[in-house]
């Protein structure tokens, strides 16, 4: 006997909520119904999947592995339903797209009107988050595709290119480096280099593309910003220098801020913007179509 999709869904909700009552509410069933489903799943697997503790539900090692596989199976089942419902009508109905915050405010304003005009039946749901969490949601079936920047580990995913986004130097308007036509990356190391906080892939892209070391910590340590607008304000206030994506500058990020933007005198410092989806997903053709539309936007 094999587990049913309903039993796997119960287990996934139990993992999400860590409570039988809240999981039952999310599944729109009674708690005894959900408990019975979990019990049947344990009989099929031949091992307990949860430990019931005072602090809440704790998954066993078997339960953790079952949840990981259940998420993949449920995502594939949902892909099947979505593919059937949108057969012959690409990018129609619900489509859940994740976007990283160093892309969303600069590409989406010009891309969304194009998507609305070209695909009037599309119901696009957007989630902005860091790359690591978007990819976890994508692999777990909570997203259909994600708009991210490479390089990044995309094992288990397929990608389609959208654009190559150059990286540029940002220095205070009255900084000596603002007099140069182009700035060699190593010239930035003589100043306080301000980057986004750990977790933002742009931080790693900027350091890797330019061959720079991470800013020092400690009492004299590095400043860090939580967003690109904050980072630009910090540079404009004379707190240091930085590296920015050209996409953001072209969208007006540095307007009305006393910041000078200069190209980098380096070998093609850039990041690659791509649309990615789960390998083998039935949304593959829609992912490619989305990337094609974004390229033209």
**What one-character-per-residue DSSP string does 218-233 give?**
STT---EESSHHHHHH
pLDDT at 127: 96
pLDDT at 83: 66
**What CATH number should be reported for the domain whose range is 91-297?**
3.40.190.290
Whether the CB-CB separation of 18 and 57 falls below 8 Å is answered with yes
pLDDT at 181: 93
Q: What is the average per-residue pLDDT within 236-265?
A: 94
Structure tokens, 25: 């509410």
pLDDT at 219: 37
The domain spans of the chain are 5-84, 91-297
- In tens, the pLDDT along 81-121 reads 766 665 567 788 889 999 999 999 999 999 999 999 999 98
Question: Both ends of the chain: CA-CA distance in Å?
Answer: 50
Q: What is the average per-residue pLDDT within 18-29?
A: 92
- In tens, the pLDDT along 203-222 reads 888 888 778 777 765 434 45
Domains 5-84 and 91-297 share a fold: no
**What CATH number should be reported for the domain whose range is 5-84?**
1.10.10.10
Q: What is the average per-residue pLDDT within 179-186?
A: 91
**What one-character-per-residue DSSP string does the chain give?**
----HHHHHHHHHHHHHS-HHHHHHHHTS-HHHHHHHHHHHHHHHTS--EEEETTEEEE-HHHHHHHHHHHHHHHHHHHHHHHHHTTTSTT-EEEEEEE-TTTHHHHHHHHHHHHHHH-TTEEEEEEE--HHHHHHHHHTTS-SEEEEEESS--TTEEEEEEEEEEEEEEEETTSGGGGSSSB-GGGGGGSPBPEEPTT-HHHHHHHHHHTPPPPP-STT---EESSHHHHHHHHHTTS-BEEEEHHHHHTTTTTTSSEEEEEBSSS--EEEEEEEEETT-TTHHHHHHHHHHHHH-
């Amino acid at each position: 006997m094999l587990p049913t999709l309903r039993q796997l869904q119960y287990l996934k909700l139990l993992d999400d909520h860590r409570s039988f009552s809240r999981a039952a509410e999310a599944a729109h069933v009674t708690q005894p119904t959900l408990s019975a489903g979990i019990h049947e799943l344990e009989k099929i697997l031949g091992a307990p999947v949860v430990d019931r503790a005072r602090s809440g539900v704790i998954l066993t090692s078997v339960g953790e592995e079952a949840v990981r596989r259940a998420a993949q199976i449920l995502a594939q089942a949902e892909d099947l339903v979505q593919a059937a419902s949108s057969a012959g009508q690409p990018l129609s109905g619900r489509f859940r797209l994740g976007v990283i915050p160093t892309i969303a405010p600069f590409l989406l304003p010009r891309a969304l009107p194009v998507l609305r005009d070209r695909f009037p039946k599309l119901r696009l749901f957007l989630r902005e988050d860091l790359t690591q969490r978007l990819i976890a949601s994508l692999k777990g079936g909570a997203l259909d595709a994600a708009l991210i920047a490479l390089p990044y580990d995309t094992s288990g995913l397929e990608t389609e290119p959208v654009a190559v986004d150059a990286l540029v130097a940002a220095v205070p308007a009255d900084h000596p480096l603002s007099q140069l036509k182009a700035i060699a990356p190593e010239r930035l190391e003589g100043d306080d280099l301000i980057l986004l906080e750990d977790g933002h892939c742009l931080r790693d892209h900027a350091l890797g593309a330019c061959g720079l070391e991470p800013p020092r910590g400690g009492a004299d340590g590095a400043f860090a910003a939580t967003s690109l607008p904050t980072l630009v304000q910090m540079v404009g206030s004379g707190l240091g220098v930085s590296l920015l994506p050209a996409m953001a500058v072209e969208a007006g990020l540095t307007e009305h801020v006393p910041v000078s933007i200069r190209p980098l005198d380096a070998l093609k410092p850039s990041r690659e913007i791509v649309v990615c989806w789960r390998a083998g997903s039935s949304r593959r053709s829609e992912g490619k179509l989305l990337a094609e539309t974004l390229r033209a936007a």
